[in-house]
Amino acid sequence: MPRIGRAVWSTLVGLGVVLGHARRTRDTIQYPEEMVYLPPRYRGRIVLTRDPAGEERCVACY
């Protein structure tokens, strides 16, 4: 009897996992037709800036 109960319980847990994943939204897009919205500041150029004396600043010192 305990083996049957354990089998039923594990089946219900597995079914719960499957149904939980089925309710989630899909993250897949159809790339050439649908473009992902990226905020304007998401991608930027990497530029090595210079201080007023003309020396290169470190990348953290904009």
The rounded average pLDDT for each run of 10 residues, N- to C-terminus, in the chain (62 residues) is 90 95 83 80 72 80 56
Task: Determine how many CB atoms are found less than 10 A away from the CB of residue 36.
Answer: 7
pLDDT of the residue at 44: 64
Do residues 48 and 57 lie in contact, with contact meaning Cβ atoms separated by under 8 Å? Answer: yes
Q: What is the pLDDT of residue 45?
A: 67
Whether the pTM exceeds 0.85: the reply is: no
Predicted confidence at residue 37, as pLDDT, reads: 81
